[in-house]
Amino acid sequence: MQQYLEAGKIVTTHGVMGEMKMELWCDSVQFLAACKRVYLSAQGGKALRLTSVRPQKGMALVKLEGVEGMDAARAMVGKVLYIDRADVKLPKGAFFIQDLLGCAVKDADTGRVYGTVTDVTHPGAQDIYTVTDAAGNNWQIPAVPQFVKEKDIEGRCVLVTPIPGLFGEAESGDAE
């Protein structure tokens, strides 16, 4: 499991005091603020203390210790900020999306393996899981209870109940 997870990306400066606008890739401004520190590398390294985090139009305005003034903030534009998973206490049953990646996707009834989760997006009301099969085909399934029955992060498995055709098979009874 990855220790340092992407929290978001600095997209521009805000004002002249070193505050920056950040595109959030984590749950919320409150989630990021609870972390207290961020890193500039997926390998960790020197921690930067978050001195302020506040919402603005679907993004976060962040201030980092040591980033003073517009020039210092401008140098941060384009950088991805990471959090240490050890700094976060998740509620029981919650997990990081990163932990879904690589999980086997199996039929809840038959045990058939459809592939592995290779991407998770959130284009609307629910997450969409991209499942890649052994042949390299990609299938997308909505992460709703009708399809996704169980997410076993420890067991590295997602149990699904697909509808006919979801993974490319012809529906039963189709004539060619």
Q: CA–CA separation, 4 vs 40, rounded Å? A: 10
Q: CA–CA separation, 113 vs 160, rounded Å? A: 10
pLDDT beyond 50 at 102: yes
| Residue 99: alpha-carbon gap to chain centroid | 9
pLDDT tens, residue by residue, 33-84: 999 999 999 999 889 999 999 999 889 999 999 999 999 999 999 999 999 9
Give, in order, the Cα–Cα distances in Å from 35 to each of 64, 146, 168.
Answer: 12, 34, 42
Q: Report the share of the chain in percent with pLDDT over 90.
A: 65
Torsion angles phi and psi, residue 21, rounded to 5: -95, 130
Q: CA–CA separation, 166 vs 72, rounded Å? A: 49
Q: Residue 60 has what pLDDT? A: 95
Q: Residue 173 has what pLDDT? A: 41
pLDDT tier at 176, thresholds 50, 70, 90? very low
Asked if residues 61 and 53 have their Cβ atoms less than 8 Å apart, the reply is yes
pTM, rounded to two decimals: 0.73
Complete domains list, the chain, with CATH: 4-87 (2.40.30.60), 97-160 (2.30.30.240)
**What is the mean pLDDT of the segment spanning 102-119?**
94
Q: CA–CA separation, 130 vs 9, rounded Å? A: 23
Q: CA–CA separation, 98 vs 5, rounded Å? A: 8
